[in-house]
Amino acid sequence: MSKCCNACFNDNVIVRHIENRGTKTESACVFCESTNTHRIETSNLSNLFEPFMQLFQAEETGDKISKLIDVKWSVFAEKVSNRKNELLLDIANGFRSEPARNIVNEPSRFRSDLVLDQSSELWRQFSGSIESINRFFYPEELDLGSRLVPSLQLIEKEIKKESIYFRARICTSEERAFPANKMGAPPNHKSTAGRANPAGIAYLYLADKINTAVHEVRPSTLDLVSIAKFKTVSDLRVIDLRKISPFQFSKAEDFEKQVSEIPLLNSIGEHLAKPIHSSTANVKYAPTQYLSELLKFNGWDGVLYKSALNQEGYNLALFNPESAECIKVLELHSVSKVNVIYTP
Ligand SMILES: [Zn+2]
């Protein structure tokens, strides 16, 4: 049985799985030739890959499954591209079911009855409906609540107590930073509609880095920005919509159904990360406000999403502003340059 490494894969769940369980090894990896990476027996990945085999049917004119899953979900790293079939065949040696072991060797295609790509259309219809037809009641086919919860449970993430985040505010007055008690969420009666919160219900928006926090307040050149450091006051359960991996669904009893919800979850994550002008915020934020309310109602503490304004960064919206506290106000930052990109 051979070993593969974290650098063989592109998928974040597989990479983390290997980093957590593998052994750091200096010599070159058999598959991707990387040195100093974490190694793991390929059979250790069999449980994660086996459920995918049910999505395929053998067909003479088909393709290798290693290629098909890579095209769809970008599973393997570039470095392993010539040997990804060999790697998948090795992983398949540990499959428990015989049909799964057999099909991995066959030219195949995705089963014709699968509906893997349609759920993103549902979010588009739902968003259109909540923005301009009905805000609070939906036709049954657009009522996403009960449909989404089982998939959301699979992309939950725990944020440990005392995790650090940042928040920024543009200083409106003299050259003095806001005090700590002015750096949190506004009181309910002053809160305007945001990406996750409806007007009148305040949430606390935090960013992963100072850079993201500054981008999020959309400053102009020469603005002074007050920045505060926050820490979470307890362990929190949040939904992570930054990057969804199909391997998060490998353990689901209804794997096929859950994996078919990935486009829907991706659409929601992209909607949360879309820049929206303040003039249309009341309407355009309605779908993501619905999502946040659904999460809050089902007991989650917040949602993680990619920053709309800083590609590298991400944000955390906490439904209870008391879930994190301001521990330090940093010195004022002055915005020296703003990068403007425009189209005709
Ligand atoms: Zn490798």
Residues 181 and 273 in one domain: yes
Q: Where are the beta strands (DSSP E) in the chain?
A: 3-5, 23-25, 37-41, 56-63, 108-110, 156-159, 164-170, 204-207, 224-232, 236-240, 302-306, 314-318, 324-329, 333-334
The token pair that represents 121 in the structure block: 């259309």
Percent of the chain at pLDDT > 90 equals: 77
Tell which wins on pLDDT, 142 or 150.
150
The closest alpha carbon to 206, from 340, 331, 322, belongs to: 322
What confidence tens digit (pLDDT) does each residue in 310-331 have? 888 999 999 999 999 999 998 8
Residues 277 and 224 in one domain: yes
Does residue 340 form part of some domain? no
Question: Which residues, 6 or more positions from 143, have their beta carbon under 8 angstroms from its beta carbon?
Answer: none
| Whether pLDDT at 1 is above 80 | no
Residues 203 and 300 in one domain: yes
Residue 99 CA to ligand 1 center (angstroms) comes to 27
User: 7 vs 4, 106, 318, 322, 338, CA distance in Å?
Assistant: 8, 27, 34, 40, 36
Average the pLDDT over 99-115 and give the result: 93
| Whether pLDDT at 49 is above 70 | yes
Compute the C-alpha angle 253/42/37, nearest 5°: 115
Strands 224-232 and 324-329: antiparallel
Does residue 120 form part of some domain? no
pLDDT at 342: 83
Does residue 99 form part of some domain? yes
Residue 44 CA to ligand 1 center (angstroms) comes to 14
Residues 103 and 220 in one domain: no
Does residue 90 form part of some domain? yes
> How confident is residue 335, by pLDDT bands cut at 50, 70 and 90?
confident
Residue 147 CA to ligand 1 center (angstroms) comes to 38
Regarding pTM above 0.85, the answer is yes
pLDDT at 140: 84
Residues 86 and 196 in one domain: no
Residue 262 CA to ligand 1 center (angstroms) comes to 27
Least confident of 196-200, 202-206, 255-259, 277-281: 277-281
Residue 54 CA to ligand 1 center (angstroms) comes to 26
Domain boundary residue among 41, 76, 110? Answer: 110
Residues 248 and 322 in one domain: yes
Residues 54 and 167 in one domain: no
Does residue 145 form part of some domain? no
The token pair that represents 201 in the structure block: 């219900």
Average the pLDDT over 108-117 and give the result: 91
Residues 88 and 158 in one domain: no
Torsion, Cα of 205, 210, 211, 213 (10° steps): 20
| Whether pLDDT at 174 is above 70 | no
Residue 106 CA to ligand 1 center (angstroms) comes to 24
pLDDT at 53: 97
Domain count within the chain: 2
Residues 183 and 285 in one domain: yes
Residues 199 and 312 in one domain: yes
Residue 273 CA to ligand 1 center (angstroms) comes to 32
Domain hosting residue 40, numbered range: 3-110
Residue 319 CA to ligand 1 center (angstroms) comes to 41
Does residue 129 form part of some domain? no
Give the Cα separation of 189 and 202 in Å (integer).
8
Average the pLDDT over 116-123 and give the result: 87
Domain boundary residue among 52, 80, 110? Answer: 110
Residue 242 CA to ligand 1 center (angstroms) comes to 25
Residues 46 and 160 in one domain: no
Residue 89 CA to ligand 1 center (angstroms) comes to 15
Does residue 131 form part of some domain? no
Residue 7 CA to ligand 1 center (angstroms) comes to 5
Average the pLDDT over 34-46 and give the result: 97
Percent of the chain at pLDDT > 70 equals: 99
Does residue 115 form part of some domain? no
Chain-centroid distance, C-alpha 71: 19
The closest alpha carbon to 335, from 170, 199, 186, belongs to: 170
Domain boundary residue among 110, 139, 162? Answer: 110
The token pair that represents 130 in the structure block: 């909540």
Give the Cα separation of 35 and 44 in Å (integer).
20
Tell which wins on pLDDT, 289 or 344.
289
Residue 31 CA to ligand 1 center (angstroms) comes to 5
Residues 61 and 158 in one domain: no
Helix, strand, coil shares of the chain, percent, nearest 5, are 40, 20, 40
Q: Name the CA radius of gyration of the chain, rounded.
A: 23
